[in-house]
Structure 1
Amino acid sequence: MRGYHIRLIAQRRTDISPSQPQPADTYLPSLLFQHLPAHKPKSTARRNALFNPQDKDYRFGPIRIDWVDFEEMSKAPHIVGKEKRNGRGTVEASFIPQTRTKSGSTNLPEGTVHVFRDSASKPSQEELESIASTSTTDNSDGVMLGVLAVPSWMTPSDFLTFVAPAAEGMAHLRLIRDSQPNRSIAVIRFLNPADAAEFVEAYNGKPFNSMEPEICNVVHVLSVVIDTEDSASQTISRFHSSQSSICPVCRYSQTLRSSHPTSSSTRSTIPIPFANPSTPTLSSCSTCSSTTNLWICLICGNIGCGRYGRAHAQQHYENTTHLYALELETQRVWDYAGDGYVHRLIQNKADGKLVELPSAASSTGIPPRDGALGPSQADALSAEKIEAIGIEYSYLLTSQLDSQRSYYEEQTTELRSQVGELKGLVERLSVEFEKERTNAKEAALWRESEERAQLADVLKDKVKAEARAEKATELAKKFDKELKEERAVSAGLMKNIGKMKETVEHNDAEKEGYIAKIRDLEDQLRDVMFFLETKTKIENGEGLEAELAGGSIGIPVPPKADTKKKKLRKR
């Protein structure tokens, strides 16, 4: 992960004196992670860049630092003592680690925020000593990480809620806000490098929420410098670093390097078209009609919204490969291929030539001049470089215009082919429509004739049905008369059947009585026969049978039915 340097440049107040000190609601710290006072938060809304009555730098604006300090109580142990119940002996102590946080907001003087990205090459020892002696950084222990492009709606509490699982390893949190929307930077200091590595792995590329497209971009912060002049950026240029003004679309580093094929000797910072269209009063995105954060294409003039809207300017570049877009509010130009701002081309009023404006990261030192008058050898070399840059720009602009012409020619050819296809389609549809209309008329006539024939058949069927209905009525009357006669006959038969049933039931009852009598007589006959046989055996018998002589035999009387029912009820 390539390292980044953050520079907070505050505007120097020339009117501060012992009689008129710095306002109490602003504070300029020397270190980012030092103890900061708590102020009432001021608005950091963007100012109108076109209205600047005091001729101030348009980059300068309100800066606020929202801070949270985590104090681990284990450094100052919290001891809780209690005496023994018996009131004697020493006091027993128990260790209770606690974590406290302090938070607030600190308003800084107006200024700007620079972000520099380290190049691949490492600085030498002399350069390290030079940067250490000429700049003031926070050299405290720990690892600093930065989160670029924190959404403007996110407060420190919201950010800590988002990174809640990793909050235990944090020592300090600083949320730097300036006048640009969604350009807030969160700087986090970890005491343990392992916690910082876990934070990068867990949150780099993670969206802040499921409803917005913003994602968490975590970078390694090497240093944070707070100064009142732009000397820090000049020092960083000797440190082989390039300024990374935050891109409003992709949020990646923005360096001013050439991306088109040229010779290595002429490769340098690419100037861009110096057209300076004025800001329209009612400009809007050509796709979504948004009126904020607008960018205009310098090749074709298309207006699209930036990353904080729906990124239609980025989409226009992807569709047309037009490299340059100008932000209407700040008049800054973005190079999509070079991935950086390139609004540094000015025109010399004397000869009309293009001159490159030195960047803020370039050195401002002036080489000594000799006593001779007229242009020196360095001036001639600079003129040759400027002329080479102008030629390179001309080639680049020509290639861009050629690509624009080819793009429009392709679009025109595609539209013509589409129009031809649409004409053929319309002709085919017209022929098919005429055929369908003719077929529909013929079908309507055929259905009308069929309906007439069916109507005649229906009328004939109606006459026949009426005749059948009259016949059916006569038959119904006849059948009704016969039904009444049948019912009378049936009533007589039912009476005779009832009488016959009564006779049969009477006969059945008499039959059952006779059968009962026959069974009673059979029982009596069996008893008599048994008596006679037994009597004969006793009279003729010997032994035990002789002993039975003179005895009597009795038949037990069966119990009455009513007595049995009473016993059953009792049970």
Structure 2
Amino acid sequence: MSELVSKCVLRVEVNDPSSDSGAEASSDATQKSKNQRRSRDISVETFPSRLETPREDWGLLPICSRETTPFTDKESEETKTEIGFFSGNPFVEITKGILHLYKEDVLSDRKEAVTLCLLGVPTSMTCHDLLAFTAPCHADIAHIRVLRDSLPNQYMALLTFRTHDSAMEFYVTFNGGPFNSLEPDNICRIVWVSRVEWAHDGVPPPGHTELPICPVCLERMDESVDGVLTILCNHAFHANCLEQWGDSTCPVCRCVQSPEQAAGSECEQCGKVAQSVDALWICLICGHVGCGRYQGGHAALHYRESGHCYALQLGSHRVWDYKGDNFVHRLLQNKTDGKLVPSEGPPSEAECAQEKVDSVQLEFTYLLTSQLEEQRLYFEDKLAQLESLYYVENQDLRSEVANLNDLSNDLKAELVALNKEKLALEKKVNQQSLKLTSSLNDLNEERQLGKALRNNQQQWQNKLAKLQEETESKDKEIAELKEQVRDLMFFIDAKQVIEKSDEREDIAGGTITVGAEPARPKSKKGKKKR
């Protein structure tokens, strides 16, 4: 079973070339205030192996950062050096940005890792010296990359091996040893690297934490390589670097590790000046100053809110443990001669005083370190959660803004189309209104004309009724006149017949009876005969 290690991710944060100089300056100022790191000139020199299959592109950074062309066989033959394994001019890439080294938060199998990173190679070692240092393993190395970020004393080197076994052999042989026997202090520190990438942002990959830089030696701090010590002001250093610092203050912020009481000390919450030196308590975790429980109780309130259980009494320099509700027994340093003297508190037994004091001191140091570490992890988790949350919210807001912009553009186009349609409909409405007005005028004229025609019709109907009545009366008169004419003609005919007849005397003494008129008289002669 292979050993579990924490592999690293080497990322080059490249500045966005689209931004102008003013925006770049403001971005550098923002980065400096936020991350305490500014963009530097970064160069990557790649030395490929002769045994490696030639490639057209050995680049690690974007294409715009390349300064020279890749290797050719002709250049390899003409520019050989005394180290025969690597030859030709290196493939150089230059850009401006920040080098980040992120370490995995959990252990993983290093069986698949074939890349090693030499953290702090001194600048006194040239590229030729580095190739000579790695010469015994040249048969197993695919290529070497030298990364510089304008640091005055060191650079980093990436060694990519062909197999994991050769990388493991190099790691076991050279890790922790000096680069040369003349400078034993320059130790070769090696970490495993899972991948190398570049990006435009400094957001760490998920599940990774960036390795900080020691402010003294400017090297990466990795607890698996060298001891890392965090002091009260929350600044971390290499243990060896801090031992060489001759002052009791912090090398970065000059914070005194045993602070003196100020003349006008006061509680940070109530603002009242302490009447006695024993009335104020300072938190050993975050430095909060509060009054004791018999004054305002703000020191105990700070413990209940934050969980910081150790507080130092400014007058007696005794440490109170709120969680255990008692004083922590420890040794204090005498200000006059620097000797260790027992602190105030319950006296210890005489026969085991020294052993008890030593054990209590170690316990207190362990408790303080554990509390600081817990607080550091807690706030780092909080910061990581907030950064991830803000990043997700930023991405959601950006996508929402993009969707709203698209929707706004669609609505604007639809509004333009609706305005055109509105104008066309208004024209149609005007035309229809004109037609309606003319139609109403025609309707009124037709109504008036119909009314006049109805009046004329009534008059003509009245005249027709009168004419029909007159016609009927005239028809009656005509019928009567016809009867009279018929009777008259009958009388005349009869008279003529009688006058011509021989029997007129007999006829004159007789009577005439008129019968019903026949249905169809055939002729006048028949009438006369009757």
Larger Rg: 2
Alignment TM-score, normalising by the size of structure 2: 0.29
Structure with the greater relative contact order (CA < 8 A, sep ≥ 6): 1 or 2?
1
